[in-house]
Amino acid sequence: MRREPAWRIFASEYNDSTFELKGTGEKSPSYVITPLGGKVNRLFVTGVLTDVENVSEGGEYLRAHISDPTGVYTLYSGQFQPDATNQLSNIEVPAFVAVVGKSRTYVPEEGTLYVSIRPELVREVDAEARDRWIIETCWQTKNRIEAMIEAMKMDQPNAYDLRKLGYSKDLSHGIVAALKNYGKVDVSKYVTLVSESLQYIAPGKEKFEDIQHEEKIELAEQKKIKKEEKKKEKTDEDSEDTEKLVLETIKKLQGKEGAPWDSIVEKCKEKGLDENSIDEALNSLMDKGFIFEPVLGTIKTT
């Protein structure tokens, strides 16, 4: 079974989700489909841990909240997540934390769905790590916005044509499911969300103002990404070459503790790879047992 990617999604988009794609078999994963087409089974979130509360008499079941620039995630952790529960219990709030966890849903009545996160890993981080997460999540949100815009231009939105434009398999299928269940999506809300999130970490800084300006122009006018740069569909040989390049990069970067995820992505981009290809290669290498993640955000070869 392939390892599900950990999506970077702002709290506002995640909490706007009202549709769950249920797995068909006993071990088939279920996915929360976000309005921008995120097909979420696992998440990677970073923000301020604002409170941790015991919600059971024995204190074995915790509810916690993490705040990002757009809203608040709700976490539930209990005896089946002993490490995460213990970490949440021992962190003095407020504190910056990074969390990898599973998406969870609660349906109190038909037509109503609430989302939360069941944490797998919890780690205290600093403000710089939080800011890096915000920037990366802004770019990934931008990618979903652009994919949604492209899909809404199609007479019959489909994953095949989105894949031809260069979008990942998971996002392409998620976009189609989102349009089917949410209808036409108001992307302007999420364009504003991206701009405000960038301004949150660097108000008044010129480089971020430039990014915001470019985002508004490009997305407001719904410009197409250059199709000639994304039309070429990946073959099995291309995937193998990409995996080989990513693996070699990890070997060169890693020390005793491994190589930082962000450094791997940066170096691979310098070698001409796009982020979707890098993420797919990392997931594939993990599935094949060539690499593993000893701690959150660090990759090491086996």
CATH code assigned at 253? 1.10.10.10
Residue 1 lies in a domain: no
> Is residue 279 within 8 Å of residue 5, measured between CB atoms?
yes
Residue 86 lies in a domain: yes
Pick from 32-41, 141-150, 163-172, 209-218: least confident: 209-218
Q: Report if pTM > 0.75.
A: no
Q: pLDDT value at position 176?
A: 95
Is the confidence at residue 15, as pLDDT, over 80?
yes
Which two three-digit tokens encode residue 178?
A: 């989102």
Q: pLDDT value at position 278?
A: 86
For position 83, which CATH number holds? 2.40.50.140
Q: Give me the number of domains the chain comprises.
A: 3
pLDDT tens across 195-212, in order? Answer: 999 888 765 444 444 444
Q: Which of residues 124, 152, 168 is at a domain's end?
A: 124
CA-CA-CA-CA dihedral for 30, 33, 38, 43, to nearest 10: -50
Separation between Cα atoms, residue 145 and residue 53, nearest integer Å: 35
Residue 16 lies in a domain: yes
Give me the mean pLDDT over the 91-107 stretch: 93
Residue 32 lies in a domain: yes
Do residue 240 and residue 203 come from a single domain? no
Q: Which of residues 76, 97, 124 is at a domain's end?
A: 124
Mean pLDDT of the chain: 84
Contact partners, residue 270, CB within 8 Å, separation at least 6: none
Q: pLDDT value at position 238?
A: 67
Separation between Cα atoms, residue 76 and residue 114, nearest integer Å: 13
Helices 261-270 and 236-253 pack at an angle, to 10 degrees, of: 120
Do residue 71 and residue 161 come from a single domain? no
Q: pLDDT value at position 287?
A: 74
> Is residue 79 within 8 Å of residue 56, measured between CB atoms?
no
Tally the residues of the chain: 302
Residue 109 lies in a domain: yes
> Is residue 26 within 8 Å of residue 15, measured between CB atoms?
no
Do residue 185 and residue 205 come from a single domain? yes
Residue with token string 């989105």:
162
> Is residue 88 within 8 Å of residue 119, measured between CB atoms?
yes
pLDDT tens across 237-289, in order? Answer: 567 788 889 989 988 888 888 888 888 988 899 888 888 888 888 888 887 77
Q: pLDDT value at position 116?
A: 96
**Domain span holding position 256:** 236-301
Which two three-digit tokens encode residue 37?
A: 């087409």
Residue 212 lies in a domain: yes
First and final C-alpha spacing in the chain: 19
Contact partners, residue 125, CB within 8 Å, separation at least 6: 46, 96, 97, 98
Residue 151 lies in a domain: yes
Do residue 109 and residue 218 come from a single domain? no
Give me the mean pLDDT over the 6-31 stretch: 88
Do residue 53 and residue 105 come from a single domain? yes
Residue 192 lies in a domain: yes
Separation between Cα atoms, residue 193 and residue 209, nearest integer Å: 14
